[in-house]
């Protein structure tokens, strides 16, 4: 029966809502846009074939599936990882929309600050701030304790406040 409904157009509404968030989330591992989009495609399609009628409560599964796809891709391309760390800071492509020079500057500062966070903190802050997931959903996505997630988030925010220039706090 699922074969008849797996093509339900509602995947488009999920895509419209979450694609940019998923793309940002995986770019911490796959900074190049093309790689990140490959991971989003792989994870999203896999998720939708598994859950052709998803509920909001399936959102952690979507993130977890895309995360797996990204990490699989990262492992497959491990030889390139060092080079990509450099690209992460110097790449032309911003992780956030930046229409003006000021916005681009802010985006680059944020990108650099995030790159300096420990991976476990960076992942939580990306899911919480731009993925707009609750702590419970993040805990489910990462299969971690909710208190651990909340603590990582606090540490991440504290680190970002230090890493970002003071004037940026207001500008953001």
Q: Applying CB under 8 A, which residues contact other proteins?
A: 1, 4-9, 11-12, 15, 19-21, 23-24, 33, 37, 40-41, 44-45, 48-49, 93-97, 106-107, 110, 128-130, 154, 157, 160-161, 169-172
If the CB atoms of residues 75 and 169 are measured against other proteins, the closer one turns out to be: 169
Closest CA to 159 of 108, 102, 132, 119: 119
- We find the least distance from the C-beta atom of residue 6 to other proteins, in angstroms, to be 6
- We find the least distance from the C-beta atom of residue 75 to other proteins, in angstroms, to be 22
Nearest-5° Cα angle at 104, 119 to 108: 25
If the CB atoms of residues 49 and 82 are measured against other proteins, the closer one turns out to be: 49
Contacts of 11 by beta carbon, 8 Å cutoff, 6+ apart:
44, 48
- We find the least distance from the C-beta atom of residue 19 to other proteins, in angstroms, to be 5
Could you give the angle at which helices 135-142 and 59-76 cross, rounded to 10 degrees? 40
- We find the least distance from the C-beta atom of residue 79 to other proteins, in angstroms, to be 25
Closest CA to 43 of 17, 16, 72, 20: 72
């Amino acid at each position: 029966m699922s074969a008849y409904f797996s093509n339900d157009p509602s995947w488009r509404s999920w895509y419209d809502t979450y694609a940019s968030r998923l793309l940002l989330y995986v770019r911490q591992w796959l900074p190049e846009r093309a790689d990140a989009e490959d991971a989003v495609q792989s994870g999203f399609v896999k998720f939708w074939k598994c859950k052709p009628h998803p509920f909001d409560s399936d959102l952690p599964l979507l993130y977890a599936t895309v995360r797996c796809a990204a990490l699989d891709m990262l492992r497959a391309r491990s030889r390139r990882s060092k080079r990509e760390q450099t690209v992460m800071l110097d790449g032309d492509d911003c992780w956030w929309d930046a229409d003006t020079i000021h916005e681009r500057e802010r985006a680059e500062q944020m990108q650099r600050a995030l790159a300096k966070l420990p991976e476990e903190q960076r992942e939580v802050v990306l899911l919480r701030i731009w993925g707009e997931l609750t702590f419970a959903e993040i805990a489910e996505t990462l299969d971690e304790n909710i208190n651990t997630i909340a603590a990582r988030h606090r540490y991440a925010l504290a680190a970002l406040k230090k890493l970002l220039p003071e004037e940026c706090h207001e500008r953001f």
